[in-house]
Amino acid sequence: MKLDLYVSDLACSAYIETVTRAVHSVDATAQVAANPQTEVSVVMRAAEADIKAVITTAGYTIA
């Protein structure tokens, strides 16, 4: 399943790495691609709600 999210506060590659680690905490096989501006795409097996929850818990806002 592919999920495209608008994450409003991604400012640099370090933030993207944090989001990637958060996603991998619930789905180690997820493929995460991100644009340093705002967009995160996740190909995953985990539930969408779980992915969104870990990104939010990591301190990022999903619009």
For the chain, the straight-line distance linking the first and the last C-alpha, in angstroms and rounded, comes to: 20
Cβ 63 vs Cβ 6: under 8 Å: yes
Cβ 35 vs Cβ 2: under 8 Å: no
**pTM (predicted TM-score):** 0.87
> Which 8-state DSSP code applies to residue 4?
E
Share of residues in the chain with pLDDT > 90 (%)? 71
Look at residue 55 in the predicted model and tell me its pLDDT: 94
Look at residue 63 in the predicted model and tell me its pLDDT: 84
In sequence order, the 6+-apart residues with CB closer than 8 A to the CB of 1 are 43, 44, 45, 48
Mean pLDDT of 48-62: 95
Q: Which residue has the higher pLDDT, 57 or 36?
A: 57
- Interatomic CA distance for residues 5 and 32, integer angstroms: 11
